[in-house]
Amino acid sequence: MAVQKHIIVVGAGIIGASVAWHLAKAGARVTMVASGSPGGLATPNSFAWINASWGNPKPYFDLRIRSMAEWARLASEVPAIPLQWKGALCFDLPEAELEEFARQHSAWGYGIRRVGRAEAARLEPGLAQPPEFALHVPGEGATEPVATTLALIAGAESRGAAVHAATEVRGLMHEGGRVRGVQTDAGTIEADDVVIAAGTGSAELLAGVGVAFEIDTPAGLLVHSRPHAPLLKGLVIGEIAHVRQTAERRIVAGSDFGGTEPGNDAAATARSLFDAVRKMLAGADELALDFHTIGYRPMPADGFPIIGRPAGIQGLYVTVMHSGVTLAPAVGLFAAEEILSGARNELLAAYGADRFA
Ligand X SMILES: Cc1cc2nc3c(=O)[nH]c(=O)nc-3n(C[C@H](O)[C@H](O)[C@H](O)COP(=O)(O)OP(=O)(O)OC[C@H]3O[C@@H](n4cnc5c(N)ncnc54)[C@H](O)[C@@H]3O)c2cc1C
CB of 223 to ligand X, least distance (A): 11
Which residue, 124 or 140, has its beta carbon nearer to ligand X? 140
Tell me how many residues contact ligand X (CB under 6 A): 41
* Nearest to ligand X of 72, 229 (CB atom): 72
Q: Binding segment for ligand X among 38-46, 89-97, 207-215, 229-237 (CB under 6 A)? A: 38-46
Q: Using CB under 6 A, pick the residue from 7, 8, 9, 16 that binds ligand X.
A: 16
- The residue (of 231 and 325) whose beta carbon lies closer to ligand X is 325
Cβ proximity to ligand X: between 11 and 310 the closer is: 11
What is the nearest approach in angstroms of ligand X to the Cβ of residue 226? Answer: 20
**Strands 178-184 and 187-190, how do they pair?**
antiparallel
By CB under 6 A, tell whether 10 contacts ligand X. Answer: yes
187 Cβ contact partners less than 8 Å away, ≥ 6 residues apart: none
Interface residue with ligand X, options 8, 9, 30, 41 (CB under 6 A): 41
**Does position 68 bind ligand X by CB under 6 A?**
no
Q: What is the CA radius of gyration of the chain?
A: 21
- Does 322 sit near ligand X (CB under 6 A)? yes
With contact defined as beta carbons under 8 Å apart, do 76 and 55 qualify? no
Stretch that binds ligand X, among 29-37, 129-137, 206-214, 266-274 (CB under 6 A): 29-37
261 touching ligand X, by CB under 6 A? no
Alpha-helical (H) ranges within the chain are: 14-25, 58-77, 95-107, 117-123, 145-158, 202-207, 266-280, 324-341
Side-by-side strand order, sheet with 29-33:
162-164, 29-33, 6-10, 193-196, 316-320, 306-308
Residues 111-170 interacting with ligand X (rule: CB under 6 A): 168-169
326 binds ligand X (CB under 6 A): yes
Q: Which stretch binds ligand X (CB under 6 A): 34-42, 93-101, 153-161, 261-269?
A: 34-42
Of 317, 319, 321, 320, residue with least CA distance to 339: 317
Which residue of 9, 21, 25, 47 would you call a contact of ligand X, by CB under 6 A?
47
Among 34, 151, 189, 209, binds ligand X (CB under 6 A): 34
199 sits near ligand X (criterion: CB under 6 A): yes
Residues 6+ apart with CB under 8 A from 15: 40, 197, 199, 319, 320, 321, 324, 327, 328, 331, 332
Contact between 40 and ligand X by CB under 6 A: the answer reads yes
Query: Is-contact 23 153, C-beta < 8 A?
Result: no
Identify the CA nearest to 307 among candidates 277, 330, 279, 325: 330
84 touches ligand X (CB under 6 A): no
Q: Does residue 46 bind ligand X (CB under 6 A)?
A: yes
The answer to whether residues 36 and 16 touch, using CB atoms and an 8 Å cutoff, is no
Choices 74-82, 102-110, 119-127, 316-324 (CB under 6 A): range interacting with ligand X = 316-324
Torsion of CA 36, 41, 47, 50, to 10 degrees: -90
Q: Which stretch binds ligand X (CB under 6 A): 93-101, 133-141, 251-259, 309-317?
A: 251-259
Residue 198 touching ligand X (CB under 6 A): yes
**For residue 178, what are the contacts with CB-CB under 8 A and spacing of at least 6?**
313, 314, 315
Contacts with 234 (C-beta within 8 Å, 6 or more apart), sequence order: 84, 86, 87, 88, 89, 123, 124, 140, 141, 244
Does 330 contact ligand X by CB under 6 A? no
Q: Which helix (H) or strand (E) holds 30?
A: strand 29-33
Residues that bind ligand X (CB under 6 A): 10-16, 33-36, 40-43, 45-49, 168-169, 197-199, 201, 205, 220, 222, 257-259, 295, 297-298, 321-326
